[in-house]
């Protein structure tokens, strides 16, 4: 009885908040002008004391003789033709959504010239999950001004960490990602940690309200693979909500999460993998002698990837086990543990669309100093799942619900929290700048689940707000 009452109360609260979230206008929430780099007196002291204040704009990739890989991406409002011949409105990079797959090699210098053809609201490109200098992070009003129609901006960074990443506009991101301004970024390793014969990257996307696309196609995707071949399949969830992905027809390993390899991952089967918004999971499997492998979403049948020919495999039970990274793979000492010394600890309590009861620039930033070790405890109190994403850093997931992880170390740029979950994460402040930390359900971010991790002494000449037209969420 009592628990029923609580349930009803919770439901009512969630409903009210949902109404609140959905009535918030896209930029109605932005004041004239906010300085995302000015929240602390430490910083003032620093900049007044002169000497050690540095602008994000001056934090660039130093010259080197790394091999250069250049790309041009042109953002435009256009139409795309789906397989069914249906024409749908889309905002595209180089005429397609997703835009071209950018493949580079670990250590390459990536140079991308972005041109905005005709998107009046302006665009940027954020390199999701990539550790790069502050000025290249693509956050309008923080690391650059939005790129207006007819304008260009060139991004330049060294791809230090191999793995599966993606790119998307960070201007009005909840809207622009949904309209199609996304693409895959794959950084191939200099040396493979795992053997595979085929390497595919697949992005799951909802375009507009109704199109569920798998690498831009309706009705799922067919990929070539022959019996005995080993396939690395890089799954990218560009949609806001968690996708429960099943692998039918083969046993498999989860070899990488958010671009970072796992240590000695076990071979498993019949488990649903929950991939939160913005997250990447790479799986590895060997094609069976006769028949297909299907990797598919539990909820959305257009998000099905079929590999190989032959008979269709038996599907997973809806009630199959849920993949648990907290006990998966083999431990490996890296010196980062829950009981080590931390220079700063922070607590974030998540509601349906708020952090510590606050929203946007009202949420005090996490302040760090270069070199410090930082622990953040994140608790999800109420609401839909939150894939919390940090820019510019790789963190380690230390504990879940008070228990240290017992499998492979997990390094990531996001952590997916369901209601009731508590995680502790740790990172070293080793990339000076002003960095966003937000929910990658971009509707939640737009409703206020978005804050900053700011280094002491780093400033920005850019401003968020209606005056500049820079709207990062």
Q: Please tell me whether residue 380 binds Cu ion under the rule CB under 5 A.
A: no
Distance in angstroms (rounded) separating the CA atoms of residues 431 and 334: 19
State the nearest-atom distance from the C-beta of 240 to ligand C2O, in Å: 11
Residues within window 261-280 making contact with ligand C2O, judged by CB under 6 A: 278
Torsional sign, CA 395, 34, 26, 151: negative
Q: From the DSSP assignment, how many helices (H) and strands (E) are in the chain?
A: 4, 33
Q: Please tell me whether residue 391 binds ligand C2O under the rule CB under 6 A.
A: yes
Identify what 386 binds: Cu ion, ligand C2O, none; CB under 5 to 8 Å per kind.
Answer: Cu ion
Q: How many residues bind ligand C2O (CB under 6 A)?
A: 10
Distance in angstroms (rounded) separating the CA atoms of residues 79 and 220: 20
Looking up tokens 């071949």, which residue turns up? 229
State the nearest-atom distance from the C-beta of 257 to Cu ion, in Å: 19
State the nearest-atom distance from the C-beta of 204 to Cu ion, in Å: 18
State the nearest-atom distance from the C-beta of 432 to ligand C2O, in Å: 18
Residues within window 155-194 making contact with ligand C2O, judged by CB under 6 A: 168, 170
Looking up tokens 């040396």, which residue turns up? 191
Distance in angstroms (rounded) separating the CA atoms of residues 62 and 59: 9
State which residue, 99 or 407, has the beta carbon closest to ligand C2O.
Answer: 99
3-state helix, strand, coil in the chain (%, to 5): 10, 40, 50
**For Cu ion, which stretch binds (CB under 5 A), given 72-80, 153-161, 231-239, 441-449?**
441-449
Distance in angstroms (rounded) separating the CA atoms of residues 391 and 127: 9
Q: Please tell me whether residue 389 binds Cu ion under the rule CB under 5 A.
A: no
Identify what 438 binds: Cu ion, ligand C2O, none; CB under 5 to 8 Å per kind.
Answer: ligand C2O
Q: Please tell me whether residue 438 binds ligand C2O under the rule CB under 6 A.
A: yes
DSSP symbols for 258-272? TTEEPSSPPPB-SEE
Q: Please tell me whether residue 441 binds Cu ion under the rule CB under 5 A.
A: yes
Backbone angles phi, psi at 176, to 5 degrees: -70, -30
Residues within window 255-314 making contact with Cu ion, judged by CB under 5 A: none
Of 286, 295, 302, 77, nearest to 194 (Cα)? 286
State which residue, 170 or 386, has the beta carbon closest to Cu ion.
Answer: 386
State which residue, 292 or 443, has the beta carbon closest to Cu ion.
Answer: 443
Distance in angstroms (rounded) separating the CA atoms of residues 287 and 169: 36
Binding residue for ligand C2O, selected from 185, 388, 436, 447, defined by CB under 6 A = 436
Q: What are 124's two structure tokens?
A: 């940027």
HSE-up of residue 254 (Cα within 13 Å, Cβ side): 32
In the complex, the residues that contact Cu ion under the rule CB under 5 A are 386, 439, 441, 444
In the complex, the residues that contact ligand C2O under the rule CB under 6 A are 126, 128, 168, 170, 278, 389, 391, 436, 438, 440
């Amino acid at each position: 009885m009592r628990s029923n009452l609580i349930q009803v109360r919770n439901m009512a609260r969630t409903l009210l908040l949902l109404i609140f979230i959905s009535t918030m206008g896209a930029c109605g929430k932005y004041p004239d002008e906010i300085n995302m780099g000015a929240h602390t007196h430490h910083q003032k002291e620093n900049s007044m004391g002169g000497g050690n204040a540095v602008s994000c704009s001056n934090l660039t990739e130093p010259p080197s003789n790394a091999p250069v890989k250049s790309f041009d991406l042109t953002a435009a409002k256009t139409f795309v033709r789906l397989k069914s011949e249906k024409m749908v409105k889309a905002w595209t990079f180089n005429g397609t959504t997703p835009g071209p797959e950018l493949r580079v090699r670990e250590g390459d210098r990536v140079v991308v010239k972005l041109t905005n053809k005709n998107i009046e609201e302006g665009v940027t490109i954020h390199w999701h999950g990539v550790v790069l200098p502050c000025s290249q992070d693509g956050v309008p009003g923080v690391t650059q001004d939005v790129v207006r129609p007819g304008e260009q901006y060139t991004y330049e960074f060294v791809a230090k960490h191999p793995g599966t990443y993606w790119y998307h506009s960070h201007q009005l991101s909840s809207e622009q990602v949904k309209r199609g301004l996304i693409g895959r970024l794959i950084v191939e390793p200099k040396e493979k940690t795992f053997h595979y014969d085929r390497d595919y990257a697949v992005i799951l996307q909802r375009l507009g309200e109704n199109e569920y696309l798998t690498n831009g196609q309706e009705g799922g995707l067919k990929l070539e693979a022959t019996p005995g071949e080993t396939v690395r399949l890089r799954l990218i969830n560009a949609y806001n909500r968690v996708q429960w992905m099943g692998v039918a027809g083969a046993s498999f390993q989860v070899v990488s999460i958010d671009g970072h390899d796992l240590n000695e991952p076990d071979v498993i089967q019949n488990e649903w993998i929950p991939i939160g918004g913005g997250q990447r999971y790479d799986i590895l499997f060997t094609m069976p002698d006769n028949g297909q492998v299907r990797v598919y979403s539990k909820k959305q049948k257009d998000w099905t990837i079929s590999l190989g020919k032959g008979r269709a495999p038996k599907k997973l039970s809806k009630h199959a086990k849920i993949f648990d990274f907290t006990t998966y793979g083999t431990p490996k000492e890296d010196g980062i543990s829950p009981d080590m010394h931390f220079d700063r600890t922070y607590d974030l309590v998540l509601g349906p669309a708020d952090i510590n009861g606050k929203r946007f620039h009202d949420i005090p930033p996490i302040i760090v100093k270069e070199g410090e070790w930082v622990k953040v405890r994140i608790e999800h109190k109420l609401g839909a799942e939150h894939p919390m994403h940090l820019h510019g850093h790789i963190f380690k997931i230390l504990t879940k619900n008070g228990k240290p992880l017992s499998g492979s170390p997990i390094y990531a740029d996001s952590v997916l929290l369901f209601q009731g979950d508590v995680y502790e994460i740790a990172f070293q402040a080793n990339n000076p700048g002003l960095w966003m930390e937000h929910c990658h359900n971009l509707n939640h971010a737009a409703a206020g689940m978005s804050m900053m991790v700011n280094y002491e002494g780093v400033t920005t000449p850019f401003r968020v707000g209606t005056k500049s037209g820079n709207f990062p969420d």
